[in-house]
């Protein structure tokens, strides 16, 4: 596309406020609602035209409510943009795997400790070596945890409670997972044999791509009151886990995309992009996908839970104390790629709707009944990871999020360079050395993985978080800086 034509595309956007841009309904024929893109002027200047097109395409789907939205970390995705959020009426809307993604319930969890940076720095190298040896990483990595078919069904149905019942973590952890680490309604009979075969050996594995386990410390507190509720203080060591449902989730998405592609034609749904394959929300095809997706979501929570358990064990061995004595409590765990049936208010009317969050974090307001009791007065912790060499953030959700974005916030920094380009332009060992000069140690199975996930390939996490903060969707509580990273 010529620069002139691309410029005209951006000129079609309507500026609502400093960080809100509207994609008008005449941007593309067939849009049922406007689009809303939450970005600063600078972030808009580096946004792909194709991402705007995807926001407009989602606005054409039946039953969509209010707006098709993109968070400030938005970039081109499959069907929906990464950072895409859309809610569809429970009865008149649709369910679309493109609004969830292949890595179902890719998400992140944060664990705090009573260790300080000074406690950990001298032992960091050995700690990272032990973590890298303990947590399987990379494409095709397999767990030392072996489960039977019956146990896999239990994981699909019961999520994190299965992990706790089998000695991984403690009951307190369950309360600090989004949805209690389990969404009822999962049906293992909707999961194919191939998906089961891929998922059985991968519980407790990081996988590849942008997944990581990161040892961090709290560098700055913005909100003393919320930080106290979340158990965070300056100088404190934390660790963050970012991964999802591995091969099980990918296969579940692949299997049901084929079915829903046919269903789109069966129900005469006109699609602006075949990647938006969908079916009426209450149709057998959509409900079968939804029930299988919930299996993958519950599986992903178990995956992160087992990794957390093994990480706690490594810390226990390193510091010769039980994890409870080390104060290693789960702050919160949030999902990034998921569709959930939620109640929201549109035009003064409360209604149930399927909220699709694709590379977006749930951000429920203070007082919401789905939040754990100890966070109910404060609001949900919103965890925004950085990219190896950049800060991660903990924010606190607000009432405004329910009005602006169906209780949703961004999920990370967002890529600006493809993995292929990153491997061509950057050298993993050089990136490792540069991070080392910043006091950040990296462990990865091969240098190319470091190049693919270098800080330079992402937007500024600070700039993305500032947009969310300024919009009032979620406000900054703490900034975390990396000390050591295990890359998938």
How do 35-37 and 68-75 pair as beta strands? parallel
In a domain, 161, yes or no: no
In angstroms, rounded to a whole number, what is the distance separating the alpha carbons of residues 48 and 31?
A: 20
Catalytic positions are: 411
In a domain, 16, yes or no: yes
In angstroms, rounded to a whole number, what is the distance separating the alpha carbons of residues 175 and 166?
A: 17
In a domain, 24, yes or no: yes
In angstroms, rounded to a whole number, what is the distance separating the alpha carbons of residues 27 and 21?
A: 13
**pLDDT for the residue numbered 141:** 82
Backbone angles phi, psi at 53, to 5 degrees: -60, -40
In a domain, 162, yes or no: no
Question: Where on the phi/psi map is residue 327: left (φ > 0), alpha (ψ -120 to 50), or beta?
Answer: left
Q: Which residues of the chain have pLDDT under 50?
A: 1-2, 4
Contact between 142 and 201 under an 8 Å Cβ cutoff? The reply is yes
How do 349-358 and 20-23 pair as beta strands? unpaired
Convert the chain into a string of H (helix), E (strand) and C (coil): CCHHHHHHHHHCCEEEECCEEEECCCCCCCCCCCEEECCCHHHHHCCCHHHHHHHHHHCCCCCECCCEEEEEEEECCCCCCEEEEEEEECCCCEECHHHCCCCCCCEEEEEEEEEEHHHHHHHHHHHHHHHHHHCCCCCCCCCCCCCCHHHHHHHHHHCHHHHHHCCCCCHHHHHCEHHHHCCCCCCHHHCCHHHHHHHHHHCCCCCCCCCEEEEEEEEEECCHHHHHHHCCCCCEEEEEEEECCHHHHHHHHHHHHHHHHHHHHHCCCCCCCHHHCCEECCCHHHHHHHHHHHHHHHHHHHHHHHHHHHHHHHHHHHHCCCCCCCCCCEEEEEECEEEEEEEEEECCEEEEEEEEEECEEECCCCCCCCCCHHHCCCCCEEEECCCCCCCEEEEEECHHHHHHHCCEEECCCCECCCHHHHHHHCCHHHHHHHHHHCCCEEECCCHHHHHHCCHHHECCHHHHHHHHHHHCCEEEEEEEEEEEEEEC
Cα distance between the two ends of the chain: 35
In angstroms, rounded to a whole number, what is the distance separating the alpha carbons of residues 478 and 277?
A: 39
In a domain, 404, yes or no: no
Query: What residue numbers bound the domain in which 8 lies?
Result: 3-99
In angstroms, rounded to a whole number, what is the distance separating the alpha carbons of residues 160 and 27?
A: 44
Rounded to whole angstroms, what are the CA distances from 61 to 10, 78, 257? 22, 15, 16
In a domain, 37, yes or no: yes
Q: How many Cβ atoms are within 10 Å of 427's Cβ, its own excluded?
A: 14
Number of structural domains, the chain? 1
In a domain, 7, yes or no: yes
In a domain, 282, yes or no: no
**pLDDT for the residue numbered 459:** 81
Contact between 166 and 306 under an 8 Å Cβ cutoff? The reply is no
- Return the CA Rg of the chain: 21
How do 360-362 and 381-384 pair as beta strands? unpaired
């Amino acid at each position: 596309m010529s620069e002139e034509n691309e410029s005209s595309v951006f000129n079609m956007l309507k500026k609502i406020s400093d960080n809100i841009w509207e994609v008008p309904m005449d941007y593309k024929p067939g849009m049922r609602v406007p689009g809303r893109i939450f970005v600063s002027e600078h972030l808009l200047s580096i946004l792909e035209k194709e991402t705007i097109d995807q926001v407009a395409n989602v606005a054409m789907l039946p039953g969509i409510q209010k707006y098709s939205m993109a968070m400030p970390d938005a970039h081109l995705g499959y069907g929906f943009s990464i950072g895409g959020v859309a809610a569809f009426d429970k009865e008149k809307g649709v369910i679309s795997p493109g609004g969830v993604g292949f890595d179902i319930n890719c998400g992140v969890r944060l664990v705090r400790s009573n260790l300080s940076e000074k406690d950990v720095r001298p032992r960091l190298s050995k700690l990272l070596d032990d973590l890298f040896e303990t947590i399987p990483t990379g494409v095709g990595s397999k767990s030392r945890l072996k489960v039977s078919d019956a146990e896999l069904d239990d994981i699909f149905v019961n999520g994190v409670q299965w992990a706790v019942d089998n000695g991984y973590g403690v009951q307190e952890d369950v309360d600090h997972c989004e949805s209690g680490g389990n969404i009822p309604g999962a049906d293992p009979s909707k999961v194919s044999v191939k998906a089961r075969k891929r998922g059985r050996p991968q519980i407790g594995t990081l996988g590849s791509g942008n997944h990581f386990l990161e040892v961090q410390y709290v560098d700055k507190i913005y909100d003393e009151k919320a930080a106290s509720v979340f158990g965070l203080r300056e100088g404190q060591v934390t660790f963050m886990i970012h991964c999802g449902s591995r091969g099980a989730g990918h296969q579940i998405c692949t299997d049901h995309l084929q079915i829903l592609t046919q269903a789109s034609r069966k129900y005469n749904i006109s699609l602006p992009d075949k990647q938006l394959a969908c079916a009426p929300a209450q149709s057998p095809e959509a409900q079968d996908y939804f029930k299988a997706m919930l299996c993958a979501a519950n599986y992903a929570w178990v995956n992160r839970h087992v990794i957390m358990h093994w990480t706690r064990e490594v810390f226990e061995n390193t510091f010769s104390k039980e994890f409870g004595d080390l104060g290693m409590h789960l702050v919160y765990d949030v999902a990034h790629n998921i569709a959930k049936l939620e109640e929201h208010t549109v035009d003064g009317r409360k209604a149930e709707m399927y909220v699709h969050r694709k590379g977006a974090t749930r951000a429920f307001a203070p007082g919401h009944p789905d939040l754990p009791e100890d966070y109910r007065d404060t609001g949900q912790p919103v965890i925004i990871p950085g990219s190896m060499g950049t800060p991660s953030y903990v924010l606190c959700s607000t009432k405004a999020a329910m009005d602006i974005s169906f209780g949703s916030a961004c999920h990370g920094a967002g890529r600006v360079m493809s993995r292929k380009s990153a491997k061509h332009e950057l050298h993993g060992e050089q990136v490792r050395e540069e991070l080392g000069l910043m006091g950040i140690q990296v462990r990865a199975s091969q240098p190319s993985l470091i190049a693919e996930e270098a800080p330079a390939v992402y937007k500024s996490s600070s700039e993305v978080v500032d947009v969310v903060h300024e919009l009032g969707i979620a406000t900054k509580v703490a900034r975390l800086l990396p000390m050591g990273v295990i890359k998938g």
